[in-house]
Amino acid sequence: MSQDIVQFETRGRIAIVTLNRPQQRNALSIEMRAELARQLDKIDDSISVVVIQAAGGAFCAGADLGDVPDTPMGWRDRILTAQAHHLRLVNMKQIVIASVQGAAFGGGASLALAADILVLGESARLGFPFVHLGVVPDGGASFLLQAKAGPAVALDVLLTGGAITAGEACALGLTRRVIADAQLGQETIKLAESIAALPFEALQLTKSLCAQSWADRMASSLRQEADSFGLATASESHKAALAAAKSKHSKAK
């Protein structure tokens, strides 16, 4: 397994985790998910801020259609893995910043929403195309979008399989930082450095206080999500939609 597909580096009290499959728009394969877990394991109390970023022009295109499961239970297990990563980011003591450029679709959007702070490039789009594939939102997307943008927005976006642009994300309160793509990495690190310079104890307690109204409820929501996803993948409409998506994906290569 190549560690290059998810890179890890530290700068003082900052850990930088980089999704690194730019040719595949950082689509999350099973291998990449396993490597992401290994890199997150490196985060300890010497770190106070974690930056999640991605190489290339897209943050993350979601699940890699090249290695999708072929049974509902296989899908459920894969969803549980994604959920564990996102719940881990929500619950960790460290402050998590997602630096997003281009497409953050499906599981990529869920990953971005699991961060405490979103920093968006002007090209960023948070896409939720789940219904187009005949499945329910995964990785905590339905819960996180409701918690951070409200039920009405979540229903509108999720039921239409729509996307949220950087400007819309700012207007909806998902972020207050929209930056030119060329300066995204630099400005994200500057933000991380300013936060890392603050007392770590105060940071983690503040994160806990802000999240207490919803984070404790996330785990139970994720269990229902995994069960619903497994049921959805057993439907004929999902199988037809997935086959069409795979065909389109193969032709695009």
How many domains does the structure of the chain reveal? 1
Tens of pLDDT, residues 90-124: 999 999 999 999 999 999 999 999 999 999 999 99
- Inside any domain, residue 205: no
Q: How many CA atoms lie within 13 A of 225 on its CB side?
A: 24
Tens of pLDDT, residues 206-253: 999 988 777 778 888 998 998 899 889 889 999 898 888 877 766 666
Tens of pLDDT, residues 74-92: 888 888 989 999 999 999 9
Bridge partners (DSSP) of residue 121 are 179
- Inside any domain, residue 227: yes
Q: What is the rounded radius of gyration, in angstroms, for the C-alpha atoms of the chain?
A: 17
* pLDDT value at 1 more than 60: no
- Inside any domain, residue 148: yes
Mean pLDDT, rounded, for 141-151: 94
- Inside any domain, residue 158: yes
- Inside any domain, residue 195: no
Token pair of 172, please? 């909806």
Q: How far apart are CA 246 and CA 96, in angstroms?
A: 33
- Looking up residue 170, the CATH number of its domain turns out to be 3.90.226.10
Judge contact between 113 and 143, C-beta under 8 A.
no
- This prediction has a pTM of 0.94
Q: Which of 51, 50, 69, 47 is nearest to 59 (CA)?
A: 51
- Inside any domain, residue 204: no
* Residue 3: pLDDT band with limits 50, 70, 90: low
| Residue 56 lies in domain | 3-182+213-252
- Inside any domain, residue 208: no
- Inside any domain, residue 190: no
